[in-house]
Amino acid sequence: MIKMKYKGKTFTNGHSLANAMTRDMNQQIERSVRQAAAVSGVRVRKTHKGIEIEGDAKHMERFHKRLGK
């Protein structure tokens, strides 16, 4: 049996390790989007479709530049 550690947790199943890594990656992306939105003045909503971002053209441009960094 192979044991792997990821962020302090031990995994023996590759599927559960992949799920944990995917979940962490999604959380990091959502955190980055929310931070960029807060700084640039746009509004972020999480819906059943995913993340929706609202704002006028000026703020959306700032958000786009901020997210690219």
Q: What H or E segment, with its residue span, contains residue 55?
A: none
- Domain count of the fold of the chain: 1
Least confident of 24-33, 49-58, 60-69: 60-69
Encode pLDDT of 38-60 as tens digits: 999 999 999 999 999 999 999 99
The predicted structure's pLDDT at residue 68: 81
CB 18 within 8 A of CB 12: no
Number of residues that make up the chain: 69
The predicted structure's pLDDT at residue 67: 86
Domain that holds residue 18: 4-68
**Total-model pTM:** 0.78
